[in-house]
A and B are shown apart, each in its own frame.
Chain A
Amino acid sequence: MSIAEIFAKARAEERALLIGCMPAGFPTVDDSIESMIAMHEAGCDVIEVELPYSDPVMDGPVIQKASDIALGRGVRTRDTLRIIEAVAGAGATVVLMTYWNPIEKYGVNAFARDLAAAGATGMITPDLIPDEAAEWIAASDEHRIDRTFLVSPSSTDERIAMTVAQCRGFVYATALMGVTGARTSVSSQAPDLVERVRHANPDMPVGVGLGVGNGAQAAEVAGFADGVIVGSALIRCVLDAPDRATGLSRLRALSAELAEGVRNPAK
């Protein structure tokens, strides 16, 4: 299903989508495929595969550590494409989250082509703003990859309008000023930011990320956003587990808890 279709379906069901993030190749290529399929089966509507990068400036300690582990084991860009193929092949809707340099190095058009061939429907670019994205916009149009740019509480209304106009599928609202990582409470800036996006374009689905870690927070965010994006808390299930089996069962349990949360949006 395309991103637009599953957002539409969730809207009809009056619930939010759950978007679960996992770095490719963490802790190994095969394990990451297994983790992502487990997340999909346990209720993540969209799997956000993160391409590990050496200098992830938007990410907090958990994603940095997982990315370092994957890179330390030698994961390559082509492994990420293979992982996407396997996870999409298992029936999941997959989007890629990636810093820009690995894409520029691969070749922007070639990457869009290979990403589409692997079965991903979209790509999130945390350090590429539309102002610098002419080549990506052309390539993603040609190969029909949905484009997700970020908006932030510090974005002006003009920038929100400009950014939303360049997104296709959904826009990623970073709920707070800061890096990724689960927080004890959901940012109070998030509802306001979503409101401002709606004002720019009421039809563009909004995913909210940065800080969500449990079912209650997922329900809270589902009360005002179309998608709830969870990364660090899911990754920590694997990172902190004493063994792989425990990690997987924690990952399933948290995915299910979050899936329950997005189905019970706070009023």
Chain B
Amino acid sequence: MSAPTLPDLSGHFGRYGGRFVPEALVRALDELDAAYRTAKTDPEFQAQFKDLLLNYAGTPSLLYRAERLSARLGAEILLKREDLNHTGAHKVRNVLGQALLAKRMGKPRVIAETGAGQHGVASATAAALLDLECVVYMGETDTERQALNVARMRMLGATVVPVTNGSRTLKDALNEALRDWVASVDTTHYLLGTAAGPHPFPEIVRDFVGGIGIEARQQCLDQLGRLPDAVAACVGGGSNAIGIFHAFVPDESVQLYGFEAGGDGVATGRHAASITGGSSGVLHGARTYVLQDEDGQTVESHSISAGLDYPGVGPEHAWLHDTGRAEYEPVTDAEAMAAFQLLCRTEGIIPAIESAHALAGAARIVPALREELGRTPTIVVNLSGRGDKDVHTAGAYFGILDPVETLVPGENS
């Protein structure tokens, strides 16, 4: 039951995953699965993907030893700098892989859902590079929260469709993308943005972003001569987390920590912590942990981070949770923003608010790890993205959007 052999052929991770989709999509999923199986073992495809990652996306990303942050947290903190990738997040790995796959399947059009706009921007980027038509569905609420990313997508030639159904956020954008796909499968690849959804998406996305963990593991061996004690990542749909976890799953000495968006706190009900604050159910094509009410209706999620504001999670995380291989904990908006500020001030790195959840969680586990190991723990934190897109949210949160002359020198330091 070691993780690398999962999912099984029908896409299950234990009882999670699978395909809970309209029959109309089964053929497209089967075709995608078949195309992926051949691409996986095709040296030409792998060479193309590798070339784009290396020469276009700027990976392998650095594994950076954050000295000042380490000193503050009392642990050796290594940051996996996915924020330095082209488009500013881990997401570029997934979109390049899937866009190449779309080309290979002869599909001239890709559609995508986006929350923060990061996956939308990444999709629009890959579509421009590989000459594909691109339509991005985005909840209307998010198009307002992330107006700059809407402009970016348009600059790259994508069409952005604001979704006005339901809660007007990521989950509704995903519904709308699925509806588009039901009607357009012949010409269209659904470029799903996270390691969730129906089989084979969780597996494909995991594999395309899996370089994060493969690189980080090797970088640890090269730089430290050993493996880290723990790996920490934020969990929205779960792609950056599974991307960094996967290579470490067989390494039993390495503890895996996923940090979900705790919003105002899980107890308040205003959060996006599907595993720690939800229950088993079916959403968007897979059985997994879901935020739902007593009747199985999806409950709206809440997070300061648009990229984590999703009421479900990829099925492999549900499985890693139930088997105990990975630990999942919620991190509140306030904890994440404190970590956000700490990284800015100690390392001169403005992280994505999503990634700040991983930092806050890493800071929290230090004392227990130190006690357990009897020494300073080494923790790899996946810095999944950069914070440029979040400057407005963070600026408002910290109250620093006022005109410059009204700022008192020394304030906020």
Interface 0/1 of A103-141, CB less than 8 Å to B: 111100000000000000000001111011000000000
A93 sits at the interface (CB 8 A): no
Given contacts A55-B166, A57-B175, contact A106 B296 (CB under 8 A): yes
**Measured CA separation A58–B297 after assembly (Å):** 16
Whether B182 pairs with A177 at a CB distance below 8 angstroms is yes
Q: How far is the CA of A102 from the CA of B20 in the complex (A)?
A: 13
User: Nearest Cβ distance between residue A78 and chain B, in whole angstroms?
Assistant: 8
Is the CB–CB distance between A55 and B283 below 8 Å?
yes
A185 proximal to B (CB < 8 A): no
Bound state CA distance, A154 and B30, in angstroms?
Answer: 11
Main secondary structure of the interface of B (DSSP, over half): mixed
Question: With A127-B21, A150-B22, A152-B22 given, is the CB distance from A55 to B292 under 8 Å?
Answer: no
CB-CB contacts of B308-338 with A at 8 A, as 1s and 0s? 0000000000000000000000000000000
| Smallest CB gap from B294: residue in A | A105
Instruction: Please determine whether A155 and B297 come into contact, CB atoms closer than 8 angstroms.
Output: no
> Does A159 have its Cβ within 8 Å of any Cβ on chain B?
yes
Q: Given the known A-B contacts A101-B290, A179-B183, are A57 and B23 also in contact in the complex, defined by CB atoms under 8 Å?
A: no
Closest approach, in angstroms, between the C-beta of B16 and any C-beta of chain A? 12
Q: In the complex where A104-B296, A129-B19, A132-B20 touch, is A57 in contact with B282 (Cβ < 8 A)?
A: no
A105 touches B21 (CB 8 A): no
Q: Is the CB of B282 within 8 A of A100?
A: yes
Residue among B20, B283, B294 with max Cβ neighbours from chain A (10 Å): B20
Docked pose: A101 CA to B282 CA in angstroms? 5
Contacts of A144 in B (CB 8 A): none
Contacts of A155 in B (CB 8 A): 23-24, 26-27
Q: Is the CB of B182 within 8 A of A58?
A: yes
Q: How many residues of A contact B (CB 8 A)?
A: 40
Contact B24 A154 (CB under 8 A): yes
Known interface pairs A101-B283, A177-B183; A68-B22 also in contact (CB < 8 Å):
no
Q: Is B385 an interface residue (CB 8 A)?
A: no
Residue numbers in A under 8 Å from B22 (CB-CB): 57-58, 126-127, 150, 152, 174
Contacts of B223 in A (CB 8 A): none
Contact, CB under 8 Å: B298 / A55 = yes
Q: In chain B, what residue has the closest Cβ to A57? A: B178
Closest to A159 in B: B26
Q: CB within 8 A of B281: which of A60, A101, A132, A179?
A: A101
Contact of A132 among B19, B175, B182, B294 (CB under 8 A): B19
Given A61-B165, A101-B283, output 5 extra A-B contacts at Cβ < 8 Å: A77-B295, A127-B20, A129-B23, A154-B28, A177-B186
B interface residues (Cβ-Cβ under 8 A, vs A) = 10, 18-28, 165-166, 171-172, 175, 178-179, 182-186, 281-285, 287, 290, 292, 294-298
Can you name 16 A-B pairs with beta carbons within 8 Å?
A55-B166, A55-B298, A58-B22, A58-B179, A68-B166, A100-B20, A100-B282, A105-B292, A127-B20, A131-B10, A131-B19, A150-B24, A152-B26, A154-B185, A159-B23, A179-B182
